[in-house]
Structure 1
C-alpha cells in the first residue's frame, strides 16, 4: 500500500456514512423549507376551495404533507439564508430534516435556546426525542405545581374568610354576653340600693325577677355561643375525616373510633 494513504477501516467508513447522512438531512431540511415557501406563495393565489385539488394535480402532495412543509417554512424560513448551503442558517445551525420536525414540538420562543443548550444538531433522533419529552414533562410538572399552588391559595383564602367570619360571630356573641353581664350588674346594684333604702317588697321582687331573667338569658347566650362553636368544629372534623379516608385509611379509622368514643361520653353526661 502506498505511503500517505490511510488504511480504510469500518470505523472510518461509518464516519463517512454518518457525515453524508447529516449533509443529506440538512439539504433535505433546506429543500423542504424552500418547498414550503413556494407552497405558501401558491396557496395565496389558488382560488378558495381548490387548494387540495391543486396540490394533488400539480405537485402530488396531500394537504397534510403540504401543511407540514409550510409549517417548516413558517418556523425555520427566517432562520435560513437564501443560499443552498443550510449550514449558513442564522440560529438553527446544522439541523437535519428529522431534527427540525422533532423540534417543532418546542415553542418558537424557546427553540433556539433549547437547540443551543442541548447541542441538538449533534444528538441522535432518539436522544432528541427524549430531550423534548423530558422538557415537556418538566413543563407539565411545573404547570401542575402552579395549579396546585393556585388551588391551595384558594383554600387558604377560604379558610381565612371562614376564620374572619367566626371571629366576627364570636365578637358578636361576646358583645351580647358582655351586655347581659352589665345588665345583671346594673340590676344587682339597683336591688342592693332598694334593699338599703327599704323599698317596697314589690319593687324588690321585680328587680329580683329581672336579675333572674337576665341571668337565664346570659346562660342561654353562652350556651348558644359554645354550641355554635362545637357544631362548626364538628362539621370541620367530619370534613377532614372524609378527606383523610382515601389518603390514610388506618389513621381515618383510628380517629373515627376516637370521635365516636368522645360522642358517646358526651351523650352520657348530657
Structure 2
C-alpha cells in the first residue's frame, strides 16, 4: 500500500537536478507582444518570398497546370497562392536578398499578413503615407478595413462634387461669353444713341428751314416709337433670356456652394486623421472659379439700364421737336431704328 502511494507521488527532486521550466525566463506581457509583432513581420516577409517563388513557378509551368501544382506540391489553395503573389508584386523587393526575406519598405516591415492584404485596396502611390498617417500598426485589421472604406467613400463624394462643380463652371463660362457679347452690343447701341442724340441737338440748333410736311406729326411720332420698339424688343428678348440663364446659373452655383461646403467640412474632418489636403485644395479652387461670374453679371445689368434710359430720352426728344424739324428727326430716328434691328 505504501509502495503504491509512493508511485503516485512521483519522483522527488534530487539535489543538482534542473528542470526546463526553471531555465525559461519569465517575460512580461509587453515583451511577449513585441516578440509576436516581430514574428508577424517576419511572417509577411516570408509570405512575400513564397509569392515570389510562386510567380516564378507559374511562368515555368505549362498553361493551366499552376493550380494543381500549388495544391499538390505546396499544400496551399489557389486563392491563398493568388494572395501571396499579389503581396509579392506590391511589397516584394526587386531582387532576392542575400540576408533573408524582406519587404520593399520599412513602413510595411512590421505589418502582419492580414493588414498587408487589406492595404492592397489603397493605391500603391498612397499606401505608405496612409500607413504612417493613420498609425496602421496600432489598428486592428477590422479598424483598418473600416478606415479604408471611409476613405474610399469620401473620395467618391469629393469626385462627384468636383464633377458637378466642373459642369457648373463650364456652364457659367458659356454664360460669361454670352454676357460679354451682349455687353459689347449694348455698348455699341449706347454709342449710336449718343451719336443720334448729338445729331438731334445739332439739328435743333441749325438754322435750316425745312418745309412743313403734310404728314400728321402724331402719326410720325407713332411710327418712330413703333420702329424703336420693334428694334429694341428683339435685342431685349435676347438679353432677357441671357439674364434668366445667368440667374439660373447663379442659383445652381449657390446650391453647389452649399454642397461643396458640406464636402469641405467632411474633408477637413478626414484630413485630421488621413491628411487628405489635396481634396481640400481642390474644393477651394472650385469655390474661386464659381465666384468669377458675379462682376460680369453686374456690369451687364448696368449697361442694359443705361441703354434703356438713352432710348427713352430719344423718344422724348422726338416728341418735343418743332414741326419744321420733323422730317430730319424722322430720318435720323428711322436710321437708328434700322441699325438697332440688325
Is the deviation greater in 55-64 or in 153-162?
Answer: 55-64
Higher relative contact order (CA 8 A, sep 6+): 2
**Equivalent residues of 1:81, 1:88 under 8 A apart:** no
| 1:58-92 residue CA offsets vs partner (Å, 9 max, x unmatched) | 43544433221111011111199554576996342
| 1:124-167 residue CA offsets vs partner (Å, 9 max, x unmatched) | 22333343334434434443443343233223212312312332
**Equivalent residues of 1:36, 1:70 under 8 A apart:** yes
Say if 2:89 is the partner of 1:74: yes
Give the corresponding residue for 2:59.
44
Give the corresponding residue for 1:219.
229
Give the corresponding residue for 2:177.
161
Is the deviation greater in 154-163 or in 58-67?
Answer: 58-67
Q: Are residues 98 and 159 of structure 1, via their aligned partners in 2, closer, same or farther at CA, if it must alter by over 3 Å?
A: same
| 1:235-266 residue CA offsets vs partner (Å, 9 max, x unmatched) | 7668989999xxxxxxxxxxxxxxxxxxxxxx
TM-score (norm 1): 0.61
Shift of 1:234: 5.4
Give the corresponding residue for 2:148.
132
Give the corresponding residue for 1:98.
114
Give the corresponding residue for 2:136.
120
Give 3-state SS (helix, strand or coil) of 1:75's partner.
Answer: helix
Q: Are residues 139 and 228 of structure 1, via their aligned partners in 2, closer, same or farther at CA, if it must alter by over 3 Å?
A: closer
Q: How many correspondences in the alignment?
A: 232
Give the corresponding residue for 1:28.
43
**Equivalent residues of 2:70, 2:77 under 8 A apart:** yes
Q: Are residues 101 and 183 of structure 1, via their aligned partners in 2, closer, same or farther at CA, if it must alter by over 3 Å?
A: same
Q: Are residues 104 and 231 of structure 1, via their aligned partners in 2, closer, same or farther at CA, if it must alter by over 3 Å?
A: closer
Give 3-state SS (helix, strand or coil) of 1:95's partner.
Answer: coil
Q: Are residues 207 and 61 of structure 1, via their aligned partners in 2, closer, same or farther at CA, if it must alter by over 3 Å?
A: farther
Q: Are residues 137 and 157 of structure 1, via their aligned partners in 2, closer, same or farther at CA, if it must alter by over 3 Å?
A: same
Structure 1: unaligned runs, 5 residues or longer: 245-270
Is the deviation greater in 62-71 or in 204-213?
Answer: 204-213
Give the corresponding residue for 1:152.
168
Q: Are residues 38 and 85 of structure 1, via their aligned partners in 2, closer, same or farther at CA, if it must alter by over 3 Å?
A: closer
TM-score (norm 2): 0.50
Is the deviation greater in 227-236 or in 108-117?
Answer: 227-236
Shift of 1:33: 0.7
Q: Are residues 239 and 46 of structure 1, via their aligned partners in 2, closer, same or farther at CA, if it must alter by over 3 Å?
A: same
**Equivalent residues of 2:70, 2:78 under 8 A apart:** yes
**Equivalent residues of 2:92, 2:103 under 8 A apart:** no
Give 3-state SS (helix, strand or coil) of 2:111's partner.
Answer: coil
